[in-house]
Structure 1
């Protein structure tokens, strides 16, 4: 399971990683459909003035002596917003794969989604939150937009805390028309200013899909006994992981992510959880399949 992440964790070439991860993936981002002159047949309807003659079914005209137009379905084009938590906690490293941390996994995942959006012809933009600030790459289409987004993702560093609620609320104007929001974070705080911003976007009818990242050590509390750990976003000293602390940590983390799952179900937010040591393609496929299953309901 670790091999894929271990092989690419040292690479800084996002284009190379994208090709590696997306090879044979075969999934799009959204299953929204609209009728039009697409390629997947849906139904016939009577001809109406203004319809294109090339859409008339001439064989059916010969049989029925009436003009009918072939309706088809095509993918609807929506704006895709990629939201990255670049706060200090995202610098948490894997204890199993050298050179791998949460931020690397998160920004690489969003880079792959940007490539999928570009292939689908969707407009896509980037929102990065860290150091108490919000940074935007405005939505656009095409290969140049992809390179702009990849350049921003390549430069970002995990630092500081997430912006406060007032700052995030003031910056939610980026998503005006209904959009897809793909947000990646460790979500170690929920509720939080970030969760409130995402819930507000959901109430505004945006399609919100989150990926919650953890390390394998966080999942099974396999930190070294007696070692000291410091919360990078809270200057409140060292924490040591003895046996009693390990059990309390494991219980608290389970309760936290159970509460996160409940909140996402209540607000119809697609939620995927992953360990950063898992292969990128496997996590990406799982996230898109969860979203696709919700869209087909």
Structure 2
């Protein structure tokens, strides 16, 4: 973090200080999350998946091996093809939500109106609100066990007021096969550690969605002149006489990190979204909901 724009976070590493600041933020963040949901909810009807429900979903061509009893003869009589009637999956699904609690998430440059932590929590609460309206079971690792309730977002917010484990990654002891997890983080931990965690969870049959949230300054590196950079977690400092000389190497490393994470997620069948805090939170929410609905992502997905 550059002293040039003076954002001093060294005292914020204290867990009690962060907890108190979070307690002040969360009520407003819940209101903001609900406002965002209200702007994007029109016309959405949950995550539609083929399954064992009663509601009609789609017609699709019959293929060898399918159950003949599922053929829709009325639709098939319209032309020379045989069609099956698919029904929508209606069983409740467990989605775990997690926002990175690291001190680095509190960074906010002059180019953004919110910190990475605020944006991450708004996305998590908005997604909890949206998914709970669709009947999904929502949980927060180490804080809230999966619950199917219309007020899931409120429950998560209330629980985070009192308890939020300061762990580098979500506790995974309660994650079960066929569930999903949404992780919102700045992904600034050692790259090997992030990849190892994603591998461990993904290989257990858990589908994941990684949202890399960034302050615009972290991608564009707008610093010049004598600048002191301070690590909000370890307290380390780096003084650059001409910060602009670091820009090319820094941006190459930052871009490479993002591309490695994106490709690793793709190989595991996870989704990856890059989101900047100077963009609308609703953009990331729509992208997340689309990924949770099983729609394939485009290469280099941004929001």
Shift of 1:71: 6.3
**Counterpart-to-counterpart distance in 2, 1:73 and 1:32:** 5
Q: How far apart are the structure 1 equivalents of 2:173 and 2:167?
A: 21
TM-score (norm 2): 0.72
Q: How many residues align?
A: 254
Alpha-carbon distance change, 287 to 28 in structure 1, aligned in 2, over 3 angstroms: farther
Provide the C-alpha distance between the structure 2 equivalents of 1:250 and 1:71, rounded to a whole number of angstroms: 48
Gaps of 5+ in 2: 1-24, 76-84, 298-303
Out of 96, 101, 123, the residue aligned to residue 137 of structure 2 is 123
RMSD: 3.3
3-state secondary structure, aligned to 1:174: coil
What do the CA deviations read for 1:130-163 (whole angstroms, capped 9, x no partner)? xxxxx32111111344322022345678x97726
Match of 1:187, SS?
coil
Whether the 8 Å CA contact 1:84–1:107 is kept in 2: the answer is yes
- TM-score normalised by the chain length of structure 1: 0.73
Matched, 1:149 2:151: no
Partners of 2:46 and 2:231 lie apart in 1 by: 35
Matching residue of 2:54: 37
Shift in CA distance, 178/141, structure 1 to aligned 2, threshold 3 Å = same
Cα distance in 2 for partners of 1:199, 1:187 equals 15
2:166 & 2:106 partners in 1: Cα distance? Answer: 11
Q: CA deviation at 1:46?
A: 7.6
Provide, for residues 191-229 of structure 1, a one-character-per-residue CA deviation record: whole Å limited to 9, x for no partner.
344442222221111110110011111111113532212
Residue 280 (str. 1) matches residue 285 (str. 2): no
- Following TM superposition, by how much is the alpha carbon of 1:249 offset from its aligned partner in structure 2, in angstroms? 1.2
Q: Sort the Cα spacing of 1:154 and 1:11 in 2 relative to 1 into closer, same or farther, 3 A.
A: closer
Matched position secondary structure for 1:149 = helix
Distance apart, 1:114 and its partner CA: 0.4
In structure 2, the residue matched to 1:162 is 168
Aligned CA distance change for structure 1 residues 221 and 47 (closer, same or farther; 3 Å): closer
Ranges in structure 1 where 5+ consecutive residues have no aligned partner: 1-9, 49-56, 61-69, 128-134
Answer whether contact 2:95 2:136 (CA < 8 A) is retained. yes
Cα distance in 1, alignment partners of residues 52 and 286 from structure 2: 27
